[in-house]
Chain A
Amino acid sequence: MLQCIFLLSDSGEVMLEKQLTGHRVDRSICAWFWDQSLSQPHSFKVLPVIASPTHYLFQIVREGITFLACTQVEMPPLMGIEFLCRVADVLSDYLGGLNEDVIKDNFVIVYELLDEMIDNGFPLTTEPNILRDMIAPPNIVSKMLSVVTGNTSNVSDTLPGATSSCVPWRTTQLKHANNDVYVNLVEEMDTIINSDGVLVKCEIFGVVEVNSHLSGIPDLTLSFANPSILNDVQFHPCVRFRPWESEKLLSFVPPDGLFKLMSYRVKKLRNTPIYVKPQMSSESGTCRLSVMVGIRNDPGKVVDSVSVQFQLPHCVSSANLTANHGTVNILSDKTCSWSIGRIPKDKAPQMSGTLVLEEGVEELHVKPTFQVGFKIMGAALSGLKINKLDLKNLPTPAHKGFRAQTEAGHYEVRS
C-alpha cells in the first residue's frame, strides 16, 4: 500500500501532494529524491525503485513530470509502478497532455481523480471510462456547456451505473446517434541489425485498438485469419478467455470509446521493409561516413516519415554531413538526425560526409548505432489479418471500420 503520492515539476518543485494514510509523509522526502536524481549523470538513470533513509520510493517520469510514490511496507513493486503509470495515463487523457502548467491549472481535477483512484493506499478504479463518468474531463465541450447552462459543476450528479454492474468497464445506459466501431491494428517493429548487416532480431509488438461508440450492451466477436502467428497475447479485462482458448475468437462487451483490446507479440520475422547501410572508414584523423537507405521489401504501401538518427562518438570534434534527399541536422548534444520523409522512387537516399576526429585520435574505434524511424499506413507487417467482426445485441445496425499501421519501434542498425 502506498502512503503518499507527489507530482514534481522538471525543476523538482512539488506541484501536488496527496497523503493517503494516517502516516503523513513529509515533503522533505522530495528534496532528498531530487538531490539523488541530480547527483546522477542522467536523470533517467535513476532506478524506478529506490530506498530513501525513510521510505521506499517508486518513481516514473512522463513528459518531464515525476510521479513519486512513497511506502514503508513491502509491496509488489510492479503494483506501485503500474499504478503510477495508470495515474499518468489517466491524467494525460483528462488534461489532453501532461505539462507543468496544465497540472497547476487543473489541480482540483487531479485531486478528485486521485481521490477516486486510490483510497487508504489501495488502488481502486483506474478504468478511464468509469472515472470519466464520475468526474467530467475539463474539455472544451464541457466548458461550453457550463457557459451556456450556467452549471459549472464538472462532477456528474449521479454515480456511474457501472460501479454496480457486472461489466464494470461499461456504463449501462449508453445511447449514440451514430453507432460505429473501428478496429485498428497498431504495430511496432523492434529490430536489431548487427555490424555485419545480419538481421539479429526482428519482432513485432502490436496492439488491437478499438474505438467503439455503440448503444446498449453490444456483444462483439472478432476473428483473425491467421491467429497462429501470435506468440503471446495480453487482453483487456473485457475479453472472454474460453472462446480464445478454444477457437481463437475475441469475444467481448466493449467499453465505450477508445481502448486497447489486446496486445500481442510476433517473433522471428525475416524481413524488414527498408534497409539502412552505414559504411565507415577512418584514415589519419578523419572518418568518411556514408549511409544508404532504400526499400528492401516493398510492403505495398507508402513508407513514410523515414528518419535516421545517431549519436556522434565523443572523440568526433566536428562533422560535415550532407544528403542527396531530406535534411541533416546536428544538434548540440552531438545527435545527428537525418529526416528523409518518403523514399523517392527514382533514387536511393544517401547521406555522406566526413567526421573530423579529435587531435591524437587516428581511427574511430567507437561505432555509432543508427536508430531508424518509419511509418507505414495501411499495412500490418506482422501479417496479422482480421477475418471479421460480428456485432450482436445491437438495437440498430452499426458501421464497422478497419485500419492498420506499422511504425518502427526500437529499430537499430549498428555499424
Chain B
Amino acid sequence: MAPPAQSQRSPSPSQPSGKGEVSDLKMQLRQLAGSRAPGTDDSKRDLFKKVISYMTIGIDVSSVFSEMVMCSATSDIVLKKMCYLYVGNYAKYNPDLALLTINFLQRDCKDEDPMIRGLALRSLGSLRVPNLVEYLVGPLGAGLKDANSYVRMVAAVGVLKLYHISASTCLDADFPALLKHLMLNDPDAQVVANCLSALQEIWGVEASSSEEAAMEREALISKPIIYYLLNRIKEFSEWAQCTVLELVSKYAPPDSNEIFDIMNLLEDRLQHANGAVVLATIKLFLQLTLSMTDVHQQVYERIKAPLLTLVSSGSPEQSYAVLSHLHLLVMRAPMLFASDYKHLYCQYNEPFYVKKLKLEMLTAVANESNTYEIVTELCEYAANVDIPIARESIRAVGKIALEQYDVNAIVDRLLQFLEMEKDYVTAETLVLVKDLLRKYPQWSHDCIAVIGNISSNNVQEPKAKAALIWMLGEYAQDMQDAPYALEGLIDDWEDETSPEVRLHLLTAVMKCFFRRPPETQKALGSALAAGLSDMHQDVHDRALFYYRLLQHSVSVANSVVNPTKQAVSVFADTQSSEIKDRIFDEFNSLSVLYQKPCYMFTDKEHQGPFAFSEELGNLSIGVDDQRVEANDEDLLLSTTGKEESLSQQTQGALLVSLDQTEPAAAHAQQTNLVIDDIFGLGLSSPSPSPSPSPSPLLKLNAKAVLDPTSFQQKWRQLPVSTSQEGLISPQGVAAMTSAQTLVRHMQGHHIHCIASGGQAPNFKLFFFAQKAEEPSNFLVECVINLSTAKAQIKIKVEDENASQAFSNLFQSALSEFGMV
C-alpha cells in the first residue's frame, strides 16, 4: 500500500535528469554570488527560478544550498521570496547549512520594509530546525511588538510554529501570555484571529499536563472573551470568522436571553458569500438551541433557504459538501423539508454522488401530500441514460412504497417498470416487489399477474433472480406455471453460479411441492439430488436438511417450510439513531460527509497530531495494580515518529485504541463522545443480544499475565470480534466513582486491567483475560461515559470459538457491578 518514496520517483523523460544541470547551476550561482555588477539580480532571478522549478518537479537541488544562501544578499524582494521558499524546503534536512541562513534572515527581520520583516520572520519559523530555535525567540518577540500589523500577524503564527518545534522554548519565553495580550488588545482583526488559533492549539496540547494551561483553555470559552470576539466578528476575515464561530459553538450560554442575543448578532452571517462561514453559523445555531425544541425548529426553518442557495450557487464540489449537511438535517427532520422537495430534483449533468444524496433525501421527505409528484419524478430517472441512477431511483420508489404512502399508485408504477424490459430495471424492480409483498401481502394478486409473465431467462442478477424464485415459491398456487418455471431453473442448476440463488431455489421448490405436489414432485427430486451433490456447504446442508425433514414427516416439513407468515412491519434500518445523533453532534466536520461518526472512520494513521497529544495526558498505564504514569515525553516522541514516516506500524498500539476520541475531540464536546456499549443485556441495547443457546462454560486463569507491549501488539493484530453498546443504569453510574472501582471488581472475575485512563465522566479501560487451560487471550476495550450513561465495549479474541462465551461472561461480570 505504501506508495514509493519520493527519491525513487523517476522523472519523466521530458524532464531533465537533474545531475548535470544542478552542478551547472551551482557553478553559475557561485559566479554570481560576489558580483555587484548591474543586472546581476536579473541573472540571479533566472537561476533561482530554475532551482525552484527543479525543486517543484521533484529533483533534489539541496546541493546548491550554500550557493543559494550566498546569493541571498539582495534587495530584490522576489529573489528573497524564492530564496525563502528554497530554504524553507531544504533546511530541515540540512540543519548545519541552515545555520548559514539565520544570519541573513535575522538581518531581514530588522529591515525597514514591513513586508520583508514579515516574510523573513515567516521563513525563519518555517526552517523547523530544532537546534536553531534560540535564534527564533528574539525576532519573534520583536515581531509580536512590531508597529506593523502584517508583521504581528506573521509573528503570532510564528509562535505556534516555534511551539511545535520546541514547546519548552516557546513556554519559557512566555509567548502564550504575550499572544493573549495581543488577542485582547490588538486593533488588527487578523492578528487577533491568528493569536486565537495559536493559543487554542498551544493550550489545547498543554492542558493535559499543566493545570494553568487547562484553565487558560477554559478561559477562552468564557463569556468575556466570547463576547469580545463576537463584537468584532465583522472585522475578521471570512476564514477567521469560521475559527471564531467554531470557538463560540463550544460556549454554553447560561440562559436563553443570551442565546437569542448571540443568534441575533450572527443572523446576517447566514447570508455570507462564503459557504464555510454559513455552515459554521448553522452549526452554532443548531448547537445553541438543542434544548429548546420550538426554537430549534425555527432554526431549521431559518437555515433552509441559505442551505438551498449554497447548494445551487457553488461548484459541484461545494454543492456536495453542503448537500451532505443538508442530507443530515433532512434525515433528522424530514417533515420540515417536505415542501422543498423540488430543490432535491436531480439535474441531468450533476455527478453521481450528488444525485445519490438527492435521491436519498427525496425518499426521506416523501409524505402524503407530495408522494405523487416525487414518485413521478423518480420514475423519470428510471428511464435515464445513467444506469446507476436509474437503479437508485427505482430503489427510492420502493422505499417510498414501504413507507406506505399511496402504495396503490406506486405498485402500478413498479409494475410498469417491469414492462420496460430493460434488464437492470427489471432486476431492481423484482427485488422491490418482493419486499413490498412481504410487507403488503394484499397486493399479491396484482403483482403476481405481472410477475408470472416474466421469463426467468431475462433475469440474470442473483438478487433479482432470488427474488423472482422466492415469489414463485411463495405464490405457487396463484401462478399457473410456477412448478414448470422452477423445473426449468433446476435443470440449469449446474450453470447457476450464485449459491444464494440455489438456496432460494431449494426453498421455493419445497414450498411449491406442498401446494401442488403432483406437478412438483419430479422437480423436487432433482433439486434435492442436485443440492446434495452441491459443492457449496450451505446449499448442501440445506438440501440434506430438507431431505431428512421429508423423510421424518411430511407434515412437519410443511409446517417448517410453509408456516403462516406475518407481514413484515418495519425493515431494519441500517444506521441506529444513536449513530445519527452522534454525527449530528459533529456537524460541520468530515463525519457528515462520510455519514459515520468520526470514531468509525478514523484510525491511527488519520489521527491528528494535536488530538493525539491531547489524548495522552488523560491516560495512565497500569500493569496489574501497579499504576505507572505514562511518560508523556515518550509517547509524544512516538507521535512525532509516526508523522515522519509512512510506515507508522511500529507505533504504540495502545494509542490506536484511543482513536475513539480522535481528532474531533479537539472541538467536539467531550461529553457526547461515547455512545456504544455492552453493559449487560438488560440495557436498552439495539444490538442483537447474544444467542440464548447455552455456551460451554469458560474458565479464566486467575493469575493471567500479559505485558503491555504484547497487549498492544495483539490489539493491533486481532479483528474486533464483538462490539456492543448500551446504557448504564443509574446504580452503575453511581458505583463508578473512579476507574479503579471497576478494575477491582473485574479482577474478582479474573479479568485484569492493563490500562485505564480518564476522569469522570469519561473513562477508558483496557482489560485482558486468559483461558484457564491454554494461553489464549481475550482483550477488551471499554469506554464509559457517565454523563450520557452510555458505554461501549470492543472484544478481541485469539480463539474465535470462545468469543461468545467470553462475551457472556464479561457481561455478567459487569452486571454484577450494579450496572444493569
Contacts and interface: CB of A to CB of B under 8 A. Distances in A.
Interface of A: 13-17, 19, 21-24, 26-29, 31-32, 44-45, 47-49, 51, 53-56, 59-60, 72-79, 81-85, 104, 107-108, 111-112, 115, 119-120, 122-127, 134, 152-155, 157-159, 163-164, 166, 168, 190, 192, 194-195, 200-201, 203, 205, 231-237, 241, 245, 260, 263, 265, 311, 313-314, 365-369, 371, 410, 412, 414
B580 to A, nearest CB: 18
Given A75-B590, A122-B239, A410-B347, A51 B601 contact: yes
Nearest to B314: A85
Contacts of A54: 605-606, 646
B309 A14 contact: no
A365 B313 contact: no
B34 to A, nearest CB: 21
Contact of A124 (B237, B384, B425): B237
Interface residues of B, number: 125
A221 B663 CA distance: 46
A124 B273 contact: no
B122 interface: yes
Interface string B116-141: 00010010000010000000000000
B177 interface: no
Given A48-B317, A192-B345, A155 B280 contact: no
13 contacts: A22-B128, A73-B610, A77-B593, A78-B588, A82-B274, A107-B52, A122-B243, A127-B237, A153-B78, A194-B376, A205-B312, A365-B383, A366-B383
A125 B242 CA distance: 13
A126 B3 contact: no
A368 B349 contact: no
B315 A76 contact: no
A18 to B, nearest CB: 9
A230 to B, nearest CB: 10
B236 to A, nearest CB: 9
B664 interface: yes
Interface stretch (B149-157, B220-228, B286-294, B490-498): B149-157
Contacts of B352: 45
B237 A168 contact: yes
Given A26-B646, A245-B268, 14 more contacts: A28-B9, A29-B3, A45-B351, A51-B606, A72-B607, A72-B608, A76-B242, A84-B317, A108-B52, A108-B78, A201-B345, A233-B271, A265-B309, A365-B421
Given A76-B280, A236-B273, A85 B342 contact: no
A199 B420 CA distance: 25
B299 to A, nearest CB: 16
Contacts of B592: 77
Contacts of B312: 190, 203, 205, 265
B668 to A, nearest CB: 8
A412 B348 contact: yes
Interface stretch (B81-89, B435-443, B476-484): B81-89
B129 to A, nearest CB: 10
B551 interface: no
B666 A74 contact: yes
B56 A120 contact: no
Contact of B160 (A26, A44, A120): A120
Contacts of B689: none
Contacts of B316: 44, 48
B190 A27 contact: no
Contacts of A72: 606-609, 643, 663
A366 B157 CA distance: 58
Given A14-B58, A27-B6, A47 B309 contact: no
Contacts of A82: 274-276, 318
A186 B45 CA distance: 43
Contact of B606 (A56, A108, A412): A56
Contact of B81 (A16, A123, A155): A155
Nearest to A60: B317
Nearest to A118: B239
B269 to A, nearest CB: 9
Nearest to A82: B276
A116 to B, nearest CB: 10
Contacts of A56: 590, 606
B218 interface: no
Contacts of B347: 190, 192, 410, 412
Interface in B308-331: 308-310, 312-318, 320-322, 324
Contacts of B76: 153
Given A19-B89, A22-B165, A234-B271, A367 B383 contact: yes
A72 B611 CA distance: 10
Contacts of A31: 3-4, 9
A119 B154 contact: yes
Which of A120, A125, A154, A234 neighbours the largest number of chain B CB atoms within 10 Å of its CB?
A120
A140 B165 CA distance: 43
B545 interface: no
B454 to A, nearest CB: 16
B107 interface: no
Nearest to B38: A150
Interface in B343-364: 343, 345, 347-349, 351-353
Contacts of B602: 74
Contacts of A14: 56-58
B308 A265 contact: yes
A154 B318 CA distance: 33
A365 B420 contact: yes
Contacts of A367: 383-385
B300 to A, nearest CB: 15
B589 A74 contact: yes
Interface string B4-23: 11100100100000000000
Contacts of A73: 608-611, 663, 666
A234 B276 contact: no
Contact of B77 (A13, A155, A235): A155
Given A72-B607, A111-B52, A119-B157, A234 B309 contact: yes
Interface in B195-210: 197
Contacts of B609: 23, 72-73
B239 A83 contact: yes
Contact of B78 (A45, A47, A154, A236): A154
A28 B89 contact: no
A85 B3 contact: no
Most buried by A among B308, B349, B590: B590
B461 interface: no
B49 interface: yes
Contacts of B148: 159, 164
A195 to B, nearest CB: 6
B164 to A, nearest CB: 5
B1 interface: yes
A83 B594 CA distance: 20
Contacts of A84: 317
A241 B312 CA distance: 23
A234 B306 contact: yes
Contacts of B3: 26, 28-29, 31-32
Nearest to B381: A414
A39 to B, nearest CB: 14
Contact of B273 (A13, A79, A260): A260
A47 B275 contact: no
Contacts of B85: 111, 115
A29 to B, nearest CB: 7
B807 interface: no
A313 B383 CA distance: 10
Closest 6 CB pairs of A and B: A73-B608, A28-B3, A241-B268, A74-B663, A123-B239, A48-B317
A164 B147 CA distance: 11
A54 to B, nearest CB: 5
Contacts of B52: 107-108, 111
Contact of A85 (B89, B278, B305, B315): B315
A231 B380 contact: no
